[in-house]
Amino acid sequence: MSGYIRNEILAKGAKYVAALNIPDPAATPEGAAVMAMSPVVGAALTTFADTFKLWLREGLTGQPVQWIDAKAIFATVLADPAAYGFTNITVPACDAEKMALLTGGLVTDGFALFCNATPGSPLTGLRAGADADTWFFADGNHPSTAGFKALSDEVLKQLKAFGWI
């Protein structure tokens, strides 16, 4: 990733480049399930994400790139979800069983890409009581639209702090 940023973005004249790391996969609903089954494997997920962050930062040392720590942002949101308007941070909003029915069994893992959250739609894949605006996770690994908005709001604050906006 750092090579791509250096060779395909910076080398081609980009002036404002921000790099984000990845959140801790062990902090997701799927990661929590892995941790419950095997703390060693769960810890490995965190180590993989931390290693990615380390290699990305090292690969961009000396480059005109601003760093945005997505892992820290997600940890902050998950530590105080009510401050960000979230009522649920542990259960995915998308229902894997509903999505399997809606897709004729083609999608059985609840992957949010196939989850329709349109209010009133007969094709909604949301679980009963779920709200994509107040539940942080869409599926076992990915944020909901509101989860991504929380991330983008924090990124926007940092871009303003960099003087870019």
The verdict on residue 121 lying in a domain is no
The verdict on residue 54 lying in a domain is yes
The verdict on residue 109 lying in a domain is no
**Rounded distance, CA 109 to CA 46, Å?**
22
| pLDDT tens-digit profile, the chain (165 residues) | 999 999 999 999 999 999 999 999 999 999 999 888 899 998 999 999 999 999 999 999 999 999 999 999 999 999 999 999 999 999 999 999 998 998 899 888 888 888 888 877 877 889 999 999 999 999 999 999 999 999 999 999 999 999 999
Q: Which of 34, 16, 15, 9 is nearest to 24 (CA)?
A: 34
Direct distance between the N- and C-terminal alpha carbons of the chain, in angstroms, rounded to an integer? 25
The verdict on residue 64 lying in a domain is yes
- CATH number of the domain bearing residue 54: 3.40.50.1110
The verdict on residue 104 lying in a domain is no
Q: Is the pTM of this model over 0.75?
A: yes
Q: Identify the domain containing residue 144 by its residue range.
A: 2-93+131-161
| Alpha helix ranges (H) inside 23-161 | 29-37, 39-59, 70-79, 96-102, 145-161
Evaluate whether 21 touches 74 at the Cβ level (below 8 Å): no
The verdict on residue 35 lying in a domain is yes
The verdict on residue 57 lying in a domain is yes
Lookup: tokens for 113? 């890409």
**Rounded distance, CA 141 to CA 25, Å?**
7
Q: Is the dihedral of CA 59, 39, 151, 91 positive or negative?
A: positive
Structural domain count of the chain = 1
The verdict on residue 125 lying in a domain is no
